[in-house]
A and B are shown apart, each in its own frame.
Chain A
Amino acid sequence: MQTPARERNLRLRHHQWIKMVTFFGALLAGLVVLIVIKNLLLSVVIAIMITYIISPLVSYIEGTGISRIIAILIVYCAVSTILGLAIWAVTPLLIDQVTLLRGRLPDYVEGTVRLFDSIAVNIELFSGGILQVNLSSHLRKWLTEQSSSIVEVLPGLLSSSASVLFLSPIIGFFILKDGHLFFREMLRLVPNNIFELTLSLQYQISEQIAQYFRARLLEALIVGIVCLIGFWIIPFPFAFLLAVFAALANLIPYVGPLFGAAPGIILALINHSSGFTILMVALVYLIAQLIDNFLIIPLVVARIVNLHPLTVILVVILGAQTLGLLGMFISIPLASTIKVTFRNVYSHLTDGSA
């Protein structure tokens, strides 16, 4: 026969288990929905980024006494106006550069083949005729196929990302408006014995990811601006396109800057015989990276994500293998989230400082 205290204890544990299973079940279900529905994960990631970027501004306006929904609307209107004006100002330039690029692609293909031919000749000369490389025919075929597919794929890519571009601001709006209520409702499901731990984790993770996204976007913006100014000064064709590409590629940790610099360097190699121009283009990328690595990363990013460089490289590779570009981008905040979770859970379980 069980004592009343023991029976009460058992009932309590049973109650906690039900709550625990419900909470983690809800979390898992949410995750499955995110992964299964096409484009939803990407839309939510972009929506969270939008939220993190503009939430300090919304909170600032709300702090003056204006209701939250009005504050969100004010920020949304202001941001859309600025973005609209920017797109309106930039689109003709972008169209011009894309059209120009499309027209010059065959020349660039020929230039690349010539470049590789000269490399092959040099290898042959250097090895005294032992190594004979014949790249040109394969390369020409491959490059022609790829370059025409880029131009053809681009509109399709744009239209498929239209749903993401349309969904993200809407999801972002609701996260800003009701996000805290949603988290509060989720926390209701958390059993009492892990409630404080979960609340503390949610806060730390959310703060860390917010700061990380803001820092990465700041990095991308600065790299883009430095490249744009640099290419205008040299001057170098497709300055705007190359700067936008460098900025976007910079969002990917470690390999991003190399990706970002590749088109500019290749273009310089194909287009110009002068070594000076190639050097100048490389210098522009180098200055952008120096500013990023010696100013922004030590001052902003390093303080936020406390991960070892080797861990960063490994998680980026893992992210790339599982989710491609998106995986590469979200791998670091995800790894940092896992680290925060483990540290806190360990500290909670061992009641010692981790």
Chain B
Amino acid sequence: MVNYLWDNLFKRNSRDAEIETVIGENYIFKSLTKVELSFVKNLVHYRVYKPDERIFTQGELGVGMYIVVSGTVNITVEDHHTLDESQRDIFVTRLTRGDFFGEISLVEQTGRRTATAVAADEVILLGFFKPDLAEAIERNPRIGVKILMRLGEVLGRRLKETAERFTEVKRELKELANADPGT
């Protein structure tokens, strides 16, 4: 019994230390001081997922972002144009320790998930959601502003990347049309 209690205590302490490290390394929380990080540590949610367990599904209402602590997360999108059920999920990317996803939901009013996230193996994630962001802004506006600034930067960068990709696809389509004027 005593051993169990000590084990639990140490496990909890090492988990707390791990959470702090992962948050500290994340781009969105990087500008926070050590004291501020320990405040955020009490706001995030520690979640464990079994292999093949869905984290969220495309089309569901999203409330926030996740940071990968350990394991691998597969991101897929559903292709509604294909009739073949087995070909419907299109693999987008594989995320590992330190990666984060779903951050758009933090600032959307009733945003729906644009992709599906599934645990490829046993996965540990840290969830940071809209209510947590609201709590940070209310209880410690300094931390709230720092997080929002970084979040703005990330979303701006994502928008820029998407715009660049869009231009690229448009150019490719134009080239294809020029190369084959008959079609």
Binds B, one of A195-203, A225-233, A305-313: A195-203
Q: Does A187 contact B (CB under 8 A)?
A: yes
B52 touches A200 (CB 8 A): no
Contacts A59-B138, A181-B42, A353-B110 given; does A195 touch B47 at CB 8 Å: yes
- Other-chain residue from A15, A56, A196, A351 in contact with B59 (beta carbon distance below 8 A): A351
- Other-chain residue from A8, A180, A192 in contact with B51 (beta carbon distance below 8 A): A8
Residues of A within 8 A of B54 (CB): 192-193
Q: Please report the C-alpha to C-alpha distance between residue A12 and residue B49 in the assembled complex, in whole angstroms.
A: 9
Binds A, one of B2-10, B17-25, B128-136, B168-176: B128-136
Shortest distance in angstroms between B149's beta carbon and chain A's nearest beta carbon?
17
Contacts A180-B135, A196-B63, A351-B60 given; does A203 touch B130 at CB 8 Å: yes
B63 touches A63 (CB 8 A): no
Shortest distance in angstroms between A266's beta carbon and chain B's nearest beta carbon?
46
Would you give the 0/1 interface string for B54-77, flagging 1 where the beta carbon is closer than 8 Å to chain A? 111001111110000000000000
Q: Please report the C-alpha to C-alpha distance between residue A344 and residue B63 in the assembled complex, in whole angstroms.
A: 12
Nearest neighbor of A204 in chain B, beta-carbon distance: B131
Contacts A184-B45, A200-B61, A348-B60 given; does A63 touch B129 at CB 8 Å: no
Residues of A within 8 A of B51 (CB): 8
Nearest neighbor of A206 in chain B, beta-carbon distance: B131
Contacts A12-B52, A63-B141 given; does A196 touch B110 at CB 8 Å: no
Residues of A within 8 A of B60 (CB): 196, 348, 351
Q: Does A303 contact B (CB under 8 A)?
A: no
- Other-chain residue from A63, A199, A203 in contact with B138 (beta carbon distance below 8 A): A63
- Other-chain residue from A63, A184, A348 in contact with B139 (beta carbon distance below 8 A): A63
Residues of B within 8 A of A200 (CB): 61, 63, 129-131
Q: Within A36-68, which residues are at the interface with B (CB < 8 Å)?
A: 56, 59, 62-63, 68
Residues of A within 8 A of B12 (CB): none
Q: Does B97 contact A (CB under 8 A)?
A: no
B131 touches A202 (CB 8 A): yes
Shortest distance in angstroms between B83's beta carbon and chain A's nearest beta carbon?
21
Would you give the 0/1 interface string for B24-61, flagging 1 where the beta carbon is closer than 8 Å to chain A? 00000000000000000010011101111111100111
Residues of B within 8 A of A102 (CB): none
Shortest distance in angstroms between A263's beta carbon and chain B's nearest beta carbon?
41
Q: Does A22 contact B (CB under 8 A)?
A: no
Q: Please report the C-alpha to C-alpha distance between residue A56 and residue B51 in the assembled complex, in whole angstroms.
A: 42
Is chain A's binding surface mostly helix, strand, loop or mixed?
helix
Nearest neighbor of A183 in chain B, beta-carbon distance: B131
B50 touches A12 (CB 8 A): yes
Nearest neighbor of A5 in chain B, beta-carbon distance: B52
B139 touches A196 (CB 8 A): no
Residues of B within 8 A of A68 (CB): 139
Q: Within A169-228, which residues are at the interface with B (CB < 8 Å)?
A: 180-181, 184, 187-188, 192-193, 195-197, 199-200, 202-203
B52 touches A8 (CB 8 A): yes
Residues of B within 8 A of A5 (CB): 52
- Other-chain residue from B55, B61, B139 in contact with A192 (beta carbon distance below 8 A): B55
Q: Does A91 contact B (CB under 8 A)?
A: no
Residues of A within 8 A of B140 (CB): 62-63
Q: Does A347 contact B (CB under 8 A)?
A: yes
Nearest neighbor of B64 in chain A, beta-carbon distance: A196
Contacts A193-B54, A200-B61, A347-B61 given; does A62 touch B139 at CB 8 Å: yes
Residues of A within 8 A of B (CB): 5, 8-9, 11-12, 15, 56, 59, 62-63, 68, 180-181, 184, 187-188, 192-193, 195-197, 199-200, 202-203, 344, 347-348, 351, 353
Interchain Cβ contacts under 8 Å between A and B, 27 examples: A9-B52, A12-B50, A12-B53, A15-B50, A56-B138, A59-B139, A63-B139, A63-B142, A68-B139, A180-B42, A180-B135, A181-B42, A184-B45, A188-B46, A192-B49, A193-B54, A195-B45, A195-B47, A196-B62, A197-B61, A199-B63, A199-B129, A200-B129, A348-B60, A348-B61, A351-B59, A351-B112
**Beyond A12-B50, A63-B141, A195-B47, 14 extra complex contacts between A and B, CB < 8 Å:** A8-B52, A9-B52, A12-B52, A59-B139, A62-B139, A63-B140, A180-B42, A180-B135, A192-B55, A193-B54, A196-B61, A200-B61, A348-B60, A348-B61
**Lowest 7 A-B CB distances belong to which pairs?**
A203-B131, A351-B59, A59-B138, A200-B63, A196-B63, A59-B139, A62-B139
